[in-house]
Structure 1
């Protein structure tokens, strides 16, 4: 867990943990805030973090949605080298976030990650079984806003150059139709690898009140 600060030191720590090129880092990071944040301030903090990361990324997509359905282990659709920054708004709905280190599982099997995921589709129980030894549960806070940064890449490795991705899934044990569980999502990619989101779209992401 990292205490959020929009400065170079905190950004370097996040980048080292998330944009890993070796398996001595987890491939994800949880960031908590020293004080409560509203929805727009949370989204502003997400952009602030991206702006100070030591490696330049471009915003490839933006999203804001209310999710109370459990998911399977997956990577969000994106270019092969990509990161996710997820901003979770304070909610009464309890959830769990599990990370499967797919890159570590593939390395243990001596199979390139894209081929490993193609062979062992984690959306099905037989495929998911190949990742279970490499699963970590993120210790999510309750009743406050927080950020999670995730390496969403799908590249072979480890070779010391490629970012090594993980898979993630959410578990909602008790959905609450009377409440909302809002997640703000930013997909990042390396410059020149995908269409770039405009500054106007980024500004609207921070200021909007509607959901996708």
Structure 2
């Protein structure tokens, strides 16, 4: 989805419908593309935080639960990963913010619920066998996989993913994701701004503002 002159509120509303899904009819992710000429790294991080706040409002109004940071980091990632969900609460959202880079890469997402509906007799059968890292042949997930060219030289992009696992107490349906680095080059950066957002009780005490201040003002890029 290319973003042109849209408010954060409108972007969040469109994204919420795609990501906070309760059936496999929605994809469980959204890819937002921003023109490089209109954004700075600082402004980009600010957009991510504003999106988090708007998505949290929508989560409260829909599920009576808010979003709180499990982590909020900025790092240089040039390592392939298997299909997985990130370590977080049972119900969580992953927001990945990619800065422009010459390092070509792909992000693959796979709908493990759609896969389970085909491969298992009941959802309970799959939930009992579910692991955070997919340990079977990736070809099994191929019919349920989408490829995203998330990093390019001429734009910033955000991918928001439902990172939940298939537990009985989870209201929305998660998906797997994996990174594939096409041309690794450690002399250059592939900067990823990563938020993992736990879906928590509206009464839970959090330190989100403190984490946001550190995130916005940091010049560090973790390896």
Match in the other structure for 1:73: 83
| RMSD (Å) for aligned C-alpha atoms | 2.4
Alignment match, 1:111:
123
- What is the aligned partner in structure 1 of residue 109 from structure 2? 99
Change (3 A) 1:6 1:78: farther
Structure with the larger strand share: 2
- What is the 5 A alignment of 1:128-147? 128-140=138-150, 142-143=152-153, 144-147=155-158
Name the structure where helix makes up a greater proportion of residues: 2
Using structure 2 for the length normalisation, give the TM-score. Answer: 0.83
How far is 1:35 from its partner? 4.8
- TM-score, normalised to structure 1, is 0.87
Q: Which runs of 5+ in 1 are unaligned?
A: none
- Per the alignment, residue 63 of structure 2 pairs with none
Q: Distance in 2 between matches of 1:190 and 1:121?
A: 21
**Separation of aligned partners in 2, 1:12 and 1:24:** 17
1:150 corresponds in structure 2 to 161
What is the Cα deviation at residue 92 of structure 1?
Answer: 0.6
Question: Structure 2 CA distance, aligned partners of 1:8 and 1:26?
Answer: 20
Count of paired positions: 207
How much does 1:34 deviate? 4.1
- Taking structure 1 as reference, are residues 7 and 38 closer, same or farther at Cα in structure 2, changes over 3 Å only? closer
| Correspondence for 2:45 | 43
- Runs of 4+ aligned residues of structure 1 deviating over 6 Å after TM superposition are none
Partner of 1:61: 71
Residues 106 and 116, structure 1, Cα contact 8 Å, conserved in 2: no
String of CA shifts for 1:26-64, please: whole Å, max 9, x gaps: 000001124532221111110011122222312221111
1:61 and 1:186 in contact (8 A); partners too: yes
- Compared CA separation, residues 130 and 63, structure 1 to 2 (3 A): same
Q: What residue in structure 1 maps to residue 178 of structure 2?
A: 169
**1:139 Cα offset (Å):** 4.0
